[in-house]
Amino acid sequence: MTAMNLTSQPLTLDLRVTFRIAHGASDQRRNVLARLEDGLGEGAAVPQWGETQEGIQAYLERAAGLVGDDPFLIEDVMERLPAGSQAARAALDMALHDLVGKRLGQPLYRLLGLNPDRLPLTSFTVAIDEPQVMAERVRQSGLPIIKVKLGSPDDEAIVAAIRRASDARLRLDANAGWTRQQAAQLIPRLAGYGIEFIEQPLAKDDIEGLRWLRKQKLGAPIFADESLKTGREMPALAGAVDGVVVKLQKTGGIREALKTIAMARALDMQVMLSCMVESSLGVTAAAHLAPLCDYADLDGPLLVANDPFSGITYEGAKFSLPERPGLGVVWKS
Ligand code: MG
């Protein structure tokens, strides 16, 4: 057999509205499309993780000599890859799963033994802006679950304005934007508006701070996002948080995401499956794992103006998995 052909190309996404979070703002994301024979995958260039389009493509170029000739040996291929870009690893792992599914003529969720009727609803993300602008976006969306980006000087005013505009279920994401003292003061006040949980209130390495916050029972469950990439960080988080946010772009793909979810369960943590700013390609790959998760935050395609792919479909907050083989993602015609 001959070695599989791995190539990559830029996949540049324009955002519908400026995406401002505690880490910074962007109008465009320069992601990467990986092609392994007929298999497709996406790597997201996430600035705060140091991932760039050039870095992801350079990693995939090096990986081209290591993929071998058999897409069914996913564990072997992933093991052979050097450490480096998690986004590039995610793109290649997705492409391997896509290729295997296409060769077998089965959608990924079936290969994983998962029920496509057991999907949590997804949240819709509202990025940081003036409180009234954010509240108006929530109202206009008409959606029942909103993820509110915080970590600005107006955090309480934002949540208050959104709560006046909508009775949606609210999840808050501080993106590591608060100090311990700010978090300890803010969380009980924000909890008073009726929220489901708070993501990453503190700096990613401040695990003891997360544990300290959680012990105080401030009225809202605390989830870790930036504090973990893979299952390797899970043991340290045991007892420090109520749940974790799993993303293929952090884990480096589906195989490691499955392990991370299993570890969360073993440690009695809840799991939210989420995405970066990604097209329907990367988000659909993640969505196949949604039956294993308590919460979904899979709104990437809703934030992108020029998504070149069709994959999962949305009906309000409800999404459905494609039944086509592999990831089930196709180019828009
Ligand atoms: Mg987050």
**CATH for 111-331, options being 3.40.50.2300, 3.20.20.120, 3.40.50.300, 3.20.20.450:** 3.20.20.120
Q: From ligand 1's centre to the CA of 298, what distance in Å? A: 12
Strand-by-strand arrangement of the 243-247 sheet: 124-126, 145-149, 169-173, 197-199, 222-224, 243-247, 270-274, 295-297
Upper half-sphere CA count for residue 240 (Cβ side, 13 Å): 23
d(CA 22, CA 175): 6
Domain topology for 6-105? Enolase-like; domain 1 (3.30.390)
Q: From ligand 1's centre to the CA of 140, what distance in Å? A: 23
For the chain, the structural domain boundaries read 6-105, 111-331
Q: From ligand 1's centre to the CA of 281, what distance in Å? A: 20
d(CA 144, CA 132): 18
Give the pLDDT of residue 25: 87
Q: From ligand 1's centre to the CA of 2, what distance in Å? A: 41
Give the pLDDT of residue 19: 85
Predicted TM-score (pTM) of the model is 0.96
In sign, the C-alpha dihedral spanning 9, 64, 41, 261 is negative
**Residues with a known catalytic role:** 149, 173, 199, 225, 247
Give the pLDDT of residue 77: 97
Could you check whether 6-105 and 111-331 share the same CATH topology? Answer: no
Give the pLDDT of residue 55: 98
Give the pLDDT of residue 307: 98
pLDDT tens series, the chain, 333 aa: 799 999 999 999 999 988 888 888 889 999 999 999 999 999 999 988 999 999 999 999 999 999 999 999 999 999 999 999 999 999 999 999 999 999 999 999 999 999 999 999 999 999 999 999 999 999 999 999 999 999 999 999 999 999 999 999 999 999 999 999 999 999 999 999 999 999 999 999 999 999 999 999 999 999 999 999 999 999 999 999 999 999 999 999 999 999 999 999 999 999 999 999 999 999 999 999 999 999 999 999 999 999 999 999 999 999 999 999 999 999 998
The residue with tokens 């497709």 is 40
Q: From ligand 1's centre to the CA of 333, what distance in Å? A: 32
Q: From ligand 1's centre to the CA of 165, what distance in Å? A: 23
Nearest to 233 by CA among 200, 208, 207, 213: 207
